[in-house]
């Protein structure tokens, strides 16, 4: 039987929060990753090697980098990448340059150091979920439980199927229930724009249901600069 360590309790806390618990865990992990990187990792050879291979962070994680407003750290990181990209252009023929960068976006998405970290975090916590499925299903069965995003639900249900877990049916049923419960909030938000329902007030969670709907599908939880725009 696996032991319950700090990561187990971190995931339990995330299941008690509002949002996909795995997105919450990943976001916290990425914030720590960027904090550590910008504080003490910008000048390491390992960082230089990783960013050289990936040609910078992918578009999604670049947006998260902006939120730290660390001008010096970001400048040092991208100075090297820009120098390298410019050298490709300066030193070789255009054909050689284009051969080097033709898969630029795919390279960023495949080797982005933050993407690698994100996958590592998720796999660690997915294993905890699999080892203690009963514990987490009891949390997921709460009346106010927020749906796990489909990106992470799909991976988790696949892992449970592969090990022939007896909890597959229960997990699927709870997920359907939580999606249905969330859809009521979304429906109330939509109805609030109908003049026939203008007198009915909606809750703060219902006001932001459109944001949550996007995240349930997209599986990302970068929340610092979001607003409800309601």
- With cut-offs at 50, 70 and 90, classify the pLDDT of residue 198: low
pTM for the whole thing?
0.85
Rounded distance between C-alpha atoms, residue 80 and residue 174, angstroms: 48
Check whether 1 has a pLDDT greater than 70.
Answer: no
What does the mean pLDDT of the chain come to?
Answer: 87
pLDDT for res 221: 54
Q: Can you give the three-state secondary structure of 105-171, one letter per residue? A: HHHHHHHCHHHHHHHHHHHHHHHHHHHCHHHHHHHHCCCCCCCCCHHHHHHHHHHHHHCCCCCHHHH
Q: What pLDDT is recorded for position 200? A: 74
For 132-165, the pLDDT digits (tens) are 999 999 999 999 999 999 999 999 999 999 999 9
Q: Tell me the range of 1-10, 147-156, 219-228 where mean pLDDT is highest.
A: 147-156
pLDDT at 50: 86
- Per domain, the residue ranges of the chain are 6-218
pLDDT of 97-115, one tens digit each? 787 777 777 777 788 999 9
- Residue 151 is predicted with a pLDDT of 95
Write the CB contacts of 66 (distance below 8 Å, at least 6 apart in sequence).
Answer: none
How confident is the model over 224-230, as a mean pLDDT?
Answer: 39
Reading phi first (left if > 0) and then psi (alpha if -120 to 50, else beta), residue 193 is in: alpha
More confident position, 196 or 67: 67
DSSP state of 196: G
Residue 223: predicted pLDDT: 47
pLDDT for residue 187 is more than 80: yes
């Amino acid at each position: 039987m696996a032991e319950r360590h700090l990561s187990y309790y971190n995931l339990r806390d995330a299941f008690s929060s509002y949002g996909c618990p795995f997105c919450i865990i990943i976001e916290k992990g990425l914030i720590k990753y960027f904090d550590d990187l910008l504080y003490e990792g910008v000048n390491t050879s390992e960082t230089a090697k990783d960013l050289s291979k990936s040609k910078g962070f992918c578009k999604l994680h670049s947006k998260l980098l902006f939120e730290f407003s660390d001008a010096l750290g970001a400048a040092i990181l991208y100075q090297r990448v820009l120098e390298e990209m410019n050298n490709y252009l300066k030193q070789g023929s255009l054909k050689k340059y284009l051969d080097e960068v033709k898969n630029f976006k795919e390279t960023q998405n495949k080797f982005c150091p933050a993407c690698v970290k994100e996958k590592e975090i998720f796999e660690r916590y997915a294993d905890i979920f699999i080892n203690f499925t009963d514990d987490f299903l009891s949390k997921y069965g709460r009346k106010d439980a927020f749906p796990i995003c489909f990106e992470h639900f799909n991976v988790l249900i696949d892992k449970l199927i592969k090990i022939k877990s007896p909890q597959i049916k229960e997990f699927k049923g709870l997920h359907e229930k939580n999606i249905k419960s969330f859809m009521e909030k979304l429906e109330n938000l939509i109805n609030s724009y109908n003049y026939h329902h203008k007198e009915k007030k909606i809750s703060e969670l219902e006001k932001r249901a459109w944001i949550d709907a996007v995240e349930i599908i997209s599986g990302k939880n970068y929340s610092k600069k979001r607003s409800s725009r309601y």
